[in-house]
Structure 1
Amino acid sequence: MPRNTGSGAATEHLVRVTHPFHPLSGRQLLCVGERYNRSGRRLLLRIDDKSYCSVPPKWTDMSEPDPEISVGRERALFTVSDLMDLALLVRRLSCRRAGIGT
């Protein structure tokens, strides 16, 4: 049977939440659909009979492997993007502490 985006049954599969700070991290949940919003693609996960949550695929085991991590044979602790975000955060906090506007 061909997969159809309009059919929920065709897209249902188990997904593990892998984001370390997500409250459901480590749990395997049923993915009942996919949605798109201004932030991009989201997975709709069923928590229980009455509860659902929406998460980006990169927070699950459905994420595409990060090329930086793959090329580095998973030895890198941080990606370039992670380090750039950290540098920006340190700069903002330093400026705030010094009373300088950013």
Structure 2
Amino acid sequence: MVTHPFHPLCGRELVVLFERRTRRGLWFVCEVDGRSRVTLRQEWTDRGVPAGDQRLAAEGLTALREVADAVLGRRSGTTQVGE
């Protein structure tokens, strides 16, 4: 079953034709309606690790902001005009 919430086939049960393992993980080649094929990452299916309840943690957002500020040349704790 496709479980990725943003995949157009989310909630559909598909027939797995074969598996393919790459450096980036396990992929499933599945049949859609007996007419076409789709390749899905294991994480996008019910055979993958379930997604967490929270998409972003506060610590991750804080770290991301620090990186963005560093890239933009801003110093921590200061406010730029237009912010």
What displacement does 1:84 show?
7.5
Counterpart of 2:54 (choices 75, 78, 85) is: 78
**RCO comparison, higher one (Cα < 8 Å, 6+):** 2
Q: Give 1:36's aligned amino acid.
A: R
Structure-to-structure mapping, 1:22-101, within 5 angstroms: 22-64=7-49, 77-78=53-54, 82-83=56-57, 86-87=60-61, 90-91=64-65, 95=69, 100=72
Residue segments in structure 2 that go unaligned for 5+ positions in a row? 74-83
Structure having the higher helix fraction is: 1
Q: Give 1:18's aligned amino acid.
A: T
What displacement does 1:83 show?
2.5
What is the CA–CA distance in structure 2 between the aligned matches of 1:48 and 1:94, rounded to whole Å?
44
> Which structure has the larger Rg?
2
Task: State percent identity of aligned pairs.
Answer: 32
C-alpha RMSD of the superposition: 3.3
Aligned residues: 73
TM-score normalised per structure 2: 0.63
What is the CA–CA distance in structure 1 between the aligned matches of 2:41 and 2:49, rounded to whole Å?
12
TM-score normalised per structure 1: 0.53
What is the CA–CA distance in structure 1 between the aligned matches of 2:15 and 2:65, rounded to whole Å?
41
Residue segments in structure 1 that go unaligned for 5+ positions in a row? 1-15, 70-76
Distance 1:48 1:93, change over 3 A: farther
